[in-house]
A = this chain, B = another copy of it.
Amino acid sequence: MATKITSISFERGIPCAEAFPVSQIQQCAAAILAADAATVLQYGKSMGYMPLRETIANWHGASPEEVLVGNGSLQIQEFLSLLLLRPGDTVFVEQPTYDRAITIFRRHGANVVGIPLEPDGLDIEFLIAQLRKVRPKFLYLIPDFQNPSGVTTSLSKREEIVRLAEEHDFWIIEDGPYRALRYRGSDVPLMRTLNPDRVLHLSSFAKVLSPGVRIGYLIASERIVEAVARIATDTYVTPGLLAQGIAYEFCRRGWLEPNVERLKGIYWPRLKATVSALRESLPAADWVEPEGGFFVGITLPPPMNVADLQVRAAEVGLSLSDGRGFFPQGGGERFLRLAFTALSEPEICEGISRLARLVSH
């Protein structure tokens, strides 16, 4: 008789259940309804709940008029695409990049060009060569603990990219949902701070509070925020203000920072377990050790093929994502994104050991 195999999934970049500060969220829901029900239960401005916009603006040295809070940051990417893209336009992305971003840009008829990612950010020479051929409407990137690679873009590359954006007149969409979850090393300046007129910054409460509250935000010039707000009004009238009120109350009570520290305490050991298991069991694979975030992106040695591997992995109770979705222009056959935040350390060790056995046979 076969031993029962516990299934282990490296597929989805989601928080673990113990990440959620349930009792605090309960208190915040009760408090915001006591304090401001007439606003958070009502229709309102599509720019979002003003106290939360002010809070986010304060974090970033921006004005509330430069902040729009909406139903998740992917939804705001959709709005930015509606605003900026016309069919046939070109968008540059890191290769690999967040698969759902590629889908959004393509839905708007964009030609998505991948710029290879190096251990410290985009391949700048490749970027410059592409810029000689075509001016993109924007470059979309995730500079901190990138999804799916885990790579952080160095300061010098951030500066160079912002300089190129100015020289060649394209927007930068800087997506930063993982930024607060830095487990080691020190913060690299946001690209937005290098050039607030050129960089549209996106972030989210999904990884630091909860995905189910569905709150993302945009920090950009007033002109862009106003244009996105018009699109938001035309799309959903008002965002989810009750959830925004709850998140605001959570911040107002000073609970966000301790919550982030608590999350780091959960996730960092999981990242360390992932990396040391990889070092031990998969020395032939190639990866960059992330300083934070949700993912380690690994490239398996040739002639491995993730599509084949997925099938064999399923047989031993291992779920792997197909890396090809992260590569807009093909490739990625040997790329695996390992999402470690929702797995315990023993699950991570067992999962990578199963993976290593599959790779070596």
- Residues of chain A at the chain B interface (Cβ within 8 Å): 12, 14-15, 17, 20, 22, 25-26, 29-30, 33-34, 37-44, 71-72, 74-75, 78, 82, 100, 103-104, 107, 206, 210-214, 234-243, 245-246
Contact = CB atoms under 8 A, between A and B. Distances in A.
A237 B100 contact: yes
Most B-side CB within 10 Å, residue of A43, A212, A237: A212
Given A26-B33, A240-B243, A41 B213 contact: yes
Nearest to A27: B30
Nearest to A72: B236
B26 A211 contact: no
21 contacts: A17-B37, A20-B38, A22-B34, A22-B37, A26-B30, A29-B29, A42-B212, A43-B212, A44-B212, A72-B236, A72-B237, A74-B236, A75-B236, A78-B235, A78-B236, A103-B234, A107-B234, A240-B240, A242-B243, A242-B246, A243-B243
A100 B46 CA distance: 14
Contacts of A37: 17, 20, 22, 25
Contacts of A235: 74-75, 78, 104
Given A26-B29, A33-B25, A234-B100, A212 B74 contact: no
A17 B40 CA distance: 11
A327 B327 CA distance: 46
A22 B35 CA distance: 11
Nearest to A103: B234
A162 to B, nearest CB: 29
A39 B210 CA distance: 11
A214 B246 CA distance: 14
A41 B238 CA distance: 21
A33 B17 CA distance: 12
A89 B228 CA distance: 26
A75 B239 CA distance: 10
Nearest to A231: B107
A71 to B, nearest CB: 5
Contacts of A104: 234-235
A212 B22 contact: no
Contact of A212 (B14, B29, B206, B242): B242
A100 B104 CA distance: 23
Nearest to A82: B107
A71 B179 CA distance: 27
A39 B74 CA distance: 20
A29 B246 CA distance: 11
A20 B43 CA distance: 12
A209 to B, nearest CB: 8
A78 B22 CA distance: 33
B234 A214 contact: no
